[in-house]
Structure 1
Amino acid sequence: MTAGAHAADASVREADAVSEGGDRLSDSVRALQRDGDGVLLLSHNRNALLAADIGVGITDPQGRPPWGADLYLDGDPASAVVIVEACRTARETALRGVRLAQAAAVIGATAVLAGRARRPAARGVTAFNAAAALGTAAGVWSAVRLLRRPPPLTASQHPWHAMAPATVLARAGGSDGGLTAEEARARVDPTGERPPTTSLGRAYLAEMANPLTPVLGAGAAMSASVGAVLDAVVIVAVTALSGLFGGFQRPRTDRAVAHLRRESAVMAKVVRDGEEITVPAEELAVGDVVNLNPGEVVPADGRLLEAHHMEVDESALTGESLPVAKNVAPVLASELGNRTSMVYEGTTVAAGRGRAVIVATGTATEAGRAAADGRGAAPSVGVERRLARITRTTLPVALGSAAAVVAAGMLRGRPTRDTVGAGVGLAVASVPEGLPFLVSAAQLASARRLSARGALVRDPRAIEAAGRTDVLCFDKTGTLTQGRISLVAVAVGGDGDGRPLESLADEHDAVLAAALRATPCPHNGRELEHATDGAVTAGAKDAGVSRSTAAPGWRRTSSLPFEPSRGFHATRGRCVKRRILSVKGAPEEVVKRCATLSGRRVDRKGRKAILSAGEKLAAKGRRVLAVAELREAPGGKLTDEAVDGLEFLGFLAFADRVRGSARDAVSRLADAGVHIVMITGDHPGTAESMARELGVLDGRRVVTGAELDDWTTAPSTSCSQRSVSSPAAPPCTRSAWCRRSNAWAARSR
């Protein structure tokens, strides 16, 4: 690993793929140095460490220390991140000190030339001492902040998903009976994730960190040095009041967020001392055993010990809109969505129930690590960027004008003290000290108006940045969509397209009614165990279809519940004097039990054609269930073997529906000139159909994550601005990247 630095920044780069035993790593270091980079190298290659500007040595696989390194790491190489951050902090602190010294020199010279005291030189020395003290305090504060930063998060070294449940329990230090209360208290991570909190003092300092503050501070000091104390007081008062107004919003919002977090805290049913109790998710520890039931949020990352018909909605983590079936069997998979033996924090149990041992909590979970990766200082935008531009433009003009006034006065023979005072007054007057105050007041007023509409704004600067947005990225699942599975279409026979729920014909109603008869009834107002059963019930209600549709007087007599090993749900009922066997389930399981289609016999080739029609529906990213019935069904006990000789009726297609307000919102944003990008981990076919329905696609195409990873050439700034931020302008097509950057992106991971 090398860390190269340009100007005040330090960037971490990945060295070429080389063998540690050869000289290619040394050549890579020297190549970076020839480009003007300062190189910090983390390695156990002695030659390369000697070639680097700073060599950070780690022991080799044989345990030998790399003699000749500047620093040695004893333990986790991730601690090198602290060293890189320290280099960046030191460079920034040194640059800040240089600027303070320059400002102290100007203020000191002004005090000497325009001083009204008997000893003007003493005032100049005071300016230098004050700048030195301020620089020292800033350096100490930067060092304290660096040391207080949490250590970098590392991925778990244990492939929990590939281990047997007994092995996971042993590695996690748990047992089937759960932890004891004492063990749990000792294992709870005290540095776990906490709601963001900011004191008024820190918020005030953060608000004062704008490009005009140093200029205004220097102006106030110069005014005081020439005797204009009132001007200095006014500048300091206005600047301080501006920071106080802006800083007041952040602690207030943090308190509101903390209150909401307490009110909506996730509770976990954990086994302690052999008994099930309910505790907040923050009190869970690695090794705890938790019970998971339908509708509950998974409180932490866990390895399943038991799973009974369990399906989990992982859309919040992976973007997959359909529930994922879970089981206890170990699985070899690199992607989170394919680790069917694991459950992850923030996901929801859609169906079934399970039992899991906790293997990660807080920021160590997959969701916590993803959130930590997304944190960090945002680039300056909006007001900050404009203030910096104003400072860069006005400061040279102000200083040049002041210098011209001083030079003209001295040429005319005026006293030096008066000439310098006039120049300082002109320079200070050209700086708009009231601008930060007006900006803070406007942003605070906007934050209050938004809070009346239920929106909490933590940083008032975000309001102006949001108002200048020209590219808006939406997450699909749960944001543009409802976040739950719904019945969207019904297909009759071998139809591979289906008809929307809003325009069903009589034959489609018959298919939906048969599926409803093969769906269990909710008891005592409780939700159904499987999400698809609830979707069928809700869809039939919206379409005005009942269990007696096409079967007057139907009533249930017996049923076979759905099980993963069975693959279908079968219900037998009586209609007048006939028995009707209704079946709903996986297409491959239902179709192989069918003997007829529309009154005609079907053979192996016919069944294959039916399954092909179902695959056509599934290719659009929908979950597909097959529906079949047998009129004049035989009596006796209903068993798996009795479900045979069925007539195939059709398919049901399920998907995550678009929110009712999403279409209008996307349309209004597009009319306002905002370029819409939809990002999802869902199936590309599902993403494309949703984009067409929302009007996002607009002649563009779906781009998968694999394609994005293959794009290694970035366009110039001017190209990206023309092709992305200005939708009305003709897109740039000079390069493949520019042509692809105009595509609507569906992030498929």
Structure 2
Amino acid sequence: MTTAEPAYRRSAADVARELGVDERRGLSWDEARARLAREGPNTLPAARGRGPVVRFLLQFNSPLIYVLLVSAGVTALLGEHVDAVVILGVVVVNAVVGFVQESRAEKALTALAALTETTATAVRDGARVTLPAAGLVRGDLVELEAGGKVPADLRLLRTDELAVDESALTGESVPAAKDPAALPEAALADRAGMAYSGTLVTRGRGAGIVVATGARTELGDIHRLVHDTGAVQTPLTRKIARFGALVTVAVLALAVLTFAVGTLRGRGAAEMLTAAVALAVGAIPEGLPAVVTITLALGVARMVGRGAIVRRLPAVETLGGTTVICTDKTGTLTRNQMTVTAVTAGGRDYTLTGTGYAPSGTLERDGEPVDLDGHPALRETLLAGAACNDAELVQDGDSWQVAGDPTEGALLTSAAKAGLGAAPPRVAALPFTSERRFMATLHEDGTVYAKGPVERILELCDDAPADVTARAEEFGRQALRVLAFAKAHTGAGHLDDLPPLTFLGLQAMLDPPRPQAARAVRTCHDAGIQVKMITGDHAATARAIGARVGLGDGAAMTGAELAAADPGRVAATTVFARVSPEQKLRLVQALQDAGHVVAMTGDGVNDAPALKQADIGVAMGRTGTDAAKESADMVLTDDDFASIERAVEEGRGVFDNLVKFIVWALPSNIGLGLVLVAAILAGTALPVLPLQVLWLNMTAVLVLGLPFAVEPKDEHIMRRPPRDPALPLLTRAMTLRVLLVSAILLAGAFGLQHWERAHGASTGEAQTIVVNVFALTLMTYLFNCLSLDRPLLWRGVRRNPWVAVSAVALAGIQAVYTYVPAMNDLFDSAPLDGPAWLRVAAVALVSYVLVELLKRVQRPR
């Protein structure tokens, strides 16, 4: 359109004239084709995915990997081709593991998405035609019917009981009734004269003029927000990246220093290049990417069993560090299924148990089951809801769905729970319209049933209890949607002259919380995690649902209030209502700017930008839109908010295990670097060769490191607060422990090498001693690290049998390395005698005792 005024504020006739379209005949085919060529198809820009080659190459995008690749090149230039191949093999294995996991997640998500082509019914040259929605253009006249999807943004021309489910776009849980009248300034969810692309028609029919297609629709605006929102690094990837950069700088500096000092002292350049490569390979934790990937992949596998598909590995750990969970309401905390929970009839109040559309539940009064035979007013109220109704309940296996308006589906379910059969056959009906504001049906036995808002039905009744209005207002304060019911008898076979009605009663309904939502919210609070509900629904409804799931009973902040609100008030608020996608996105960004790690859950198109911006986006797999799933890091296949709590627990366990592994593995790398630097400075022969260093890193580190991937979670893991996102990967206490073991390795390995050489040992024997000092000390240090704050030793072995398996496996591997002739030839190793093994074991035992003493000193009182 050429005018800047929104279409909903202008009359439909004015919009039709602006777009040059006949309100009855639509566009001509020639004009439609010309506009399609000029404006392009009614599709959103396709997201550019990364192909398999790019995804594989991105696995090498790490400073640590760059140093290893350079080391492999230098080694090859020095003629050590075996060493170069082994280094490259390590790098490729790490890349393959990451690539395979990412590919599996993408395939699982693709299988989850339902790929269907949307069609539309349009009027071209006065004839109704069905065509792909992609072929619609501005000015097209489109017809809507119940069950169909709105194919573009429409300015409605005419409506007949038209109601549209806009929850995926606005978060509004109740279908929006449509009316073609122009409106003043209104929020997206209140624009009754518009129907928006991607929403679903739940009732009635209508027709409208296309005013926006493709990227110019409201759905397109959200798509643009998603596209403009950059990918956010997770806390783990940020910490690993900083750690990797620090290690890379330190390794390069040490390697350059080693080469410079050695050459200045007159040692050959080739020998110093070998020493520099050995130092680089030794100081870089080659096993770290593999163990991190395996640990995260095992966490992913466990999450699949708990109903979640993880698209990106670090997402598992990120949930463990979450400090705020921003959750959508409709379909996430609630079931997105209207349910009658209370009935008032004959001056008495009744309750209905059960949720959703399944006709399973009981009708009770004061906690006791109700027999309809003694409650005629109740029977008639429930029967009126089932009779004055155009919906249908459909059973699909164990699941029940509604075909038609969700509110009418809830009325059918309440009647079925009470055991009522079908109403007498209908002979006539007065549909609900915005002017009439009620619906009435005439049945074969002459009974007329009517339903509608309380005030409208009371206008049609010649008698009604005095407290009906007060009772309806009480239901309203509980955010229940209330409908009133009445009846009459007539001998006429039509409804042209509606007789005076007799008031029957009220039915009150809501979209109920999921059964486990309140417990999951409470568990998150116990774990120190804030939960904030952000929804496009009305404030009263949001506030009531928030109170039901444990988010307090304070006032809900609206999106309009959010922009001008004080940051302190925003931080203290737990329920946000009538929030647009842009406001939701800004709220997530504000929480991140305040230092929070934010998890965002949602299922609608309107959630997609915030899902992408959040540190961890979690979409619903069953009811979630494709836009939400594609923007999320994790997809819950069971659509249960309680799965978030389980994911947080899993993520905390993953992070604990990664920290244990890093604290355990780093002394090996630091110790190897220190031993090599000490040898250069002392002017002695290299204590280990590059290939021997690789042997250590890819056998001892991997074999002993794998038990950390399956280490059980601490039983109190959900009773402690989230870790501070600002804290480094390793605390000061952990760093001190790493340095202690590194010093022990330096003293033990360097000292024993000199001892062996002084007592006539060969170079191969001395180097074999050094390799085994590292291997056995790492073995005993493994037992230190099963718990970072208390001794576990045998208890640790009992709860994780893989610890013992790894220790035995390493002993066997080192025996092969030391005594098998082929290994001696390949790695320049040599057999050791009994006394040499005793000296190696003594170093490992001293290390274990000193670390346990340090743990005791560091343990909080």
The answer to whether the superposition gives a TM-score over 0.5 is yes
Instruction: Return the match for 1:685 from 512, 519, 540.
Output: 540
Q: Is 1:596 aligned to 2:446, yes or no?
A: no
1:233-632 → structure 2 map (5 Å cutoff): 233-248=85-100, 263-375=115-227, 376-402=229-255, 405-406=258-259, 409=262, 413-415=266-268, 417-443=270-296, 456-492=309-345, 499-501=351-353, 502-505=362-365, 507=375, 509-510=378-379, 512-516=381-385, 518-520=387-389, 530-546=405-421, 560-571=430-441, 581-598=448-465, 606=466, 610-630=468-488
Find the aligned partners of 2:541 and 2:497 in 1 and give their Cα distance.
Answer: 36
Residue identity (%): 33
**Structure 2 residue matching 1:504: 3-state secondary structure:** strand
CA deviation map 1:494-553 (0-9, x unaligned): 78x8744544345573353353365146699897764433321122112324578xxxxx
Paired residues of 2:173 and 2:330 also in contact (CA < 8 A):
yes
CA 1:438–1:171 in structure 2 vs 1: closer, same or farther (change >3 Å)?
farther
Q: How big is the shift at 1:349?
A: 0.8
**Structure 1 residue matching 2:155: 3-state secondary structure:** strand
What residue number does 2:513 align with?
A: 658
Find the aligned partners of 1:555 and 1:399 in 2 and give their Cα distance.
Answer: 86
Paired residues of 1:509 and 1:545 also in contact (CA < 8 A):
no
CA 1:251–1:529 in structure 2 vs 1: closer, same or farther (change >3 Å)?
closer
What residue number does 1:118 align with?
A: none
Find the aligned partners of 2:563 and 2:281 in 1 and give their Cα distance.
Answer: 52
In the comparison of the two structures, how many residue pairs are matched? 556
CA deviation map 1:576-621 (0-9, x unaligned): xxx75443212121112333335xxxxxxx5xx6334323322333
Q: How big is the shift at 1:444?
A: 5.2
Q: Is 1:643 aligned to 2:494, yes or no?
A: no
Instruction: Return the match for 1:198 from 33, 39, 50.
Output: 50
CA deviation map 1:683-735 (0-9, x unaligned): 222223223333x315776433344323354789998669999996799xxxx
Q: How big is the shift at 1:655?
A: 2.0
Paired residues of 1:518 and 1:584 also in contact (CA < 8 A):
no
CA 1:664–1:165 in structure 2 vs 1: closer, same or farther (change >3 Å)?
same
Q: How big is the shift at 1:352?
A: 0.7
Q: How big is the shift at 1:160?
A: 1.5
Find the aligned partners of 1:202 and 1:342 in 2 and give their Cα distance.
Answer: 43
Paired residues of 1:223 and 1:425 also in contact (CA < 8 A):
no
Q: Is 1:165 aligned to 2:20, yes or no?
A: no
**Structure 2 residue matching 1:322: 3-state secondary structure:** coil
Q: How big is the shift at 1:440?
A: 3.8
**Structure 1 residue matching 2:483: 3-state secondary structure:** strand
1:31-42 → structure 2 map (5 Å cutoff): none
Paired residues of 2:165 and 2:176 also in contact (CA < 8 A):
yes
Find the aligned partners of 2:41 and 2:497 in 1 and give their Cα distance.
Answer: 53
Larger deviation, residues 408-417 vs 685-694: 408-417
Unpaired runs of 5+ residues, structure 1, are: 1-153, 549-553, 599-605, 732-749
What residue number does 1:697 align with?
A: 551
What residue number does 2:855 align with?
A: none
Find the aligned partners of 1:571 and 1:262 in 2 and give their Cα distance.
Answer: 38
CA 1:272–1:638 in structure 2 vs 1: closer, same or farther (change >3 Å)?
closer
Find the aligned partners of 1:165 and 1:437 in 2 and give their Cα distance.
Answer: 62
One-letter amino acid of the structure 2 residue matched with residue 177 of structure 1 = G
CA 1:312–1:191 in structure 2 vs 1: closer, same or farther (change >3 Å)?
closer
User: Which structure shows the bigger proportion of residues in helix conformation?
Assistant: 2
Q: How big is the shift at 1:382?
A: 4.3
CA 1:248–1:185 in structure 2 vs 1: closer, same or farther (change >3 Å)?
farther
Q: How big is the shift at 1:257?
A: 5.6
Find the aligned partners of 1:312 and 1:213 in 2 and give their Cα distance.
Answer: 53
CA deviation map 1:388-439 (0-9, x unaligned): 2322442344345445544654575434553454234213321123432443
Find the aligned partners of 2:523 and 2:48 in 1 and give their Cα distance.
Answer: 33
Q: How big is the shift at 1:207?
A: 3.2
Paired residues of 2:156 and 2:206 also in contact (CA < 8 A):
yes
Paired residues of 2:546 and 2:553 also in contact (CA < 8 A):
no
1:161-240 → structure 2 map (5 Å cutoff): 161-172=8-19, 174-175=21-22, 176-180=25-29, 182-183=33-34, 185-186=36-37, 187-189=39-41, 192-194=44-46, 197-221=49-73, 223=75, 230-240=82-92
Larger deviation, residues 454-463 vs 370-379: 454-463
Q: How big is the shift at 1:259?
A: 6.7
Find the aligned partners of 2:36 and 2:27 in 1 and give their Cα distance.
Answer: 13
Find the aligned partners of 2:92 and 2:430 in 1 and give their Cα distance.
Answer: 73
What residue number does 2:673 align with?
A: none
Paired residues of 2:340 and 2:411 also in contact (CA < 8 A):
yes
**Structure 2 residue matching 1:263: 3-state secondary structure:** coil
Paired residues of 2:63 and 2:245 also in contact (CA < 8 A):
no
Find the aligned partners of 1:693 and 1:498 in 2 and give their Cα distance.
Answer: 19
CA deviation map 1:310-355 (0-9, x unaligned): 1111111111111111111222224111211111122111111111
**Structure 1 residue matching 2:46: 3-state secondary structure:** coil
CA 1:396–1:169 in structure 2 vs 1: closer, same or farther (change >3 Å)?
same
RMSD between aligned alpha carbons? Answer: 4.3
CA deviation map 1:64-107 (0-9, x unaligned): xxxxxxxxxxxxxxxxxxxxxxxxxxxxxxxxxxxxxxxxxxxx
Find the aligned partners of 1:486 and 1:294 in 2 and give their Cα distance.
Answer: 21
CA 1:160–1:257 in structure 2 vs 1: closer, same or farther (change >3 Å)?
farther
Q: How big is the shift at 1:302?
A: 1.5
One-letter amino acid of the structure 2 residue matched with residue 616 of structure 1 = E
Paired residues of 1:322 and 1:623 also in contact (CA < 8 A):
no
Larger deviation, residues 170-179 vs 341-350: 170-179
**Structure 1 residue matching 2:511: 3-state secondary structure:** strand
Paired residues of 2:490 and 2:499 also in contact (CA < 8 A):
no
Paired residues of 1:271 and 1:288 also in contact (CA < 8 A):
yes
Paired residues of 1:595 and 1:647 also in contact (CA < 8 A):
yes
Find the aligned partners of 1:299 and 1:557 in 2 and give their Cα distance.
Answer: 34
CA deviation map 1:643-675 (0-9, x unaligned): 32x443332213223345655655666666654
Find the aligned partners of 1:625 and 1:700 in 2 and give their Cα distance.
Answer: 27
Paired residues of 2:322 and 2:597 also in contact (CA < 8 A):
no
**Structure 1 residue matching 2:151: 3-state secondary structure:** coil
**Structure 2 residue matching 1:270: 3-state secondary structure:** strand
CA 1:622–1:274 in structure 2 vs 1: closer, same or farther (change >3 Å)?
same
CA 1:299–1:253 in structure 2 vs 1: closer, same or farther (change >3 Å)?
farther
Paired residues of 1:211 and 1:387 also in contact (CA < 8 A):
no
Paired residues of 2:427 and 2:493 also in contact (CA < 8 A):
no
Find the aligned partners of 2:346 and 2:334 in 1 and give their Cα distance.
Answer: 29
CA 1:571–1:721 in structure 2 vs 1: closer, same or farther (change >3 Å)?
closer
Q: How big is the shift at 1:368?
A: 2.4
Find the aligned partners of 1:280 and 1:250 in 2 and give their Cα distance.
Answer: 34
CA 1:365–1:258 in structure 2 vs 1: closer, same or farther (change >3 Å)?
farther
Paired residues of 1:443 and 1:461 also in contact (CA < 8 A):
yes
CA 1:391–1:293 in structure 2 vs 1: closer, same or farther (change >3 Å)?
same
CA 1:328–1:239 in structure 2 vs 1: closer, same or farther (change >3 Å)?
same
Structure-2-length-normalised TM-score:
0.56
